Amino acid sequence: MDECVPDFLIEVVQALNSLDADLGKLEERPVDAALISNAFRMFHNIKGTCGFLGLSKMGQICHATEGMLSLVRSRALPPTPYIIATLRRSVAAMRSIVEAIESSGDEGDSDGGLLAELCALHSPALSQNASIDPISLQALFATTSGPPDPSLPPVAGVTSSAMGRDPLVQMHEGFPSTGTSGQRIGDIWSMLARVTRDLASKLGKKIALVQEGADIELNRQVLNLIRDPLIHLVRNAADHGLELPEVRQASGKSRVGQIRLRAFYDGDFVVIAIEDDGRGLDAEMIRRKAAEHRLATETELLAMSDRIVFRFVLLPGFSTLDEVTSISGRGVGLDVVRNNVEAIGGDVGIESWPNKGTSFSIRIPMHREIYPSLVPSGSNASASASEIIAVL
């Protein structure tokens, strides 16, 4: 058994306990979008960790349940009592798997027909993408770093109260000031090496994982909160960013793609960057998908800079993929990244260059009252030298 499994199982049980409470509320308010989205993200997050821990049965249940919730979230499937009862069966099945692993080390054999029932709900005629509401769109562009982009169109029906929240106020409201001991970022990156190894095998790609600044320390609670975003960004780089070896070779690149993890200080911020040397984001494809979602008119989208257009990928339900797999396609991963990072007062930046690669950066404020362990001992503290930690 992987040494990370016991800690992971504790987190799963805590998540299931929270979901149980939400399901009681959902029975009373079946159209509560927030409750449905919380359940959706929980199954999505657990599924991602199951993949690199080799917990295939739990991962399959999460993937199938996530698919059902995707349809409910997009209003393609009504949240009937049967759907909520099926959700409860998924929770019960997950608890049974946890108990089986704790007692025997494996996930057990039977799911009581749950997977078959979940898959039967996934009609090809039903939409796979969640709807995107105007407030999500306005909040997304309200967090864009730098001066306002004049190419950004106004969004109808959104008041100023839905945007412009001070991130430091948000931190004080939602993040406790206790438990400030530091932890090396490199401790999380060693886990990301296993994620990358698993993805390289599944995707048929060769990937070199490079790290810089692994010795920089972050508050333990902050590091726990950004763990899922980092997993999502590495999965995104491996799946969407890097090309297959033969495609890379044909375009004059090395057959081995590179994902670089960098951590460094930038004034009062710690910046963590996840960079790949892949195909880059397709701004025109993103514009087409945004038009399909009716997020803006074609004229408005053409007037937007690529820097603004790239931020559409951070919206819930936004995906440029037509096929859903166990790795990607539901348009949820980057939404989770943005939500978790903004919850601690940070922001997400995106830069991309055609056929050269993409860089996602997470900027985390070093607020002394809340994050004393984030403050470097010297004003010009620097990251350690880069190191290739895996060629997969």
The residue ranking higher by pLDDT, 29 or 140, is 29
- The yes or no reply on domain 165-282+320-391 and CATH 3.40.1160.10 is no
Is the Cβ–Cβ distance between 330 and 128 less than 8 Å? Answer: yes
Q: CA–CA distance from 194 to each of 240, 337, 374 (Å)?
A: 18, 19, 26
Is the Cβ–Cβ distance between 189 and 210 less than 8 Å? Answer: no
What is the residue extent of each domain of the chain? 5-120, 165-282+320-391
Q: Which of 158-167, 234-243, 298-307 has the lowest mean pLDDT?
A: 158-167
* CATH numeric code, 5-120: 1.20.120.160
Residue 315: its pLDDT value, please? 81
Is the Cβ–Cβ distance between 132 and 318 less than 8 Å? Answer: yes
Identical fold between 5-120 and 165-282+320-391: no
DSSP string, 209-259: EEEE-TT-EEEHHHHHHHHHHHHHHHHHIIIIISPPHHHHHHTTS-SEEEE
Any idea what DSSP says for residue 105?
S
pTM for the predicted model, two decimal places: 0.58
Judged by DSSP in three states, 389 sits in strand
Average pLDDT of the residues in 152-178: 34
Residue 140: its pLDDT value, please? 58
Tens-digit pLDDT profile for residues 4-42:
788 889 989 998 998 888 888 888 888 888 888 888 888
Judged by DSSP in three states, 124 sits in coil
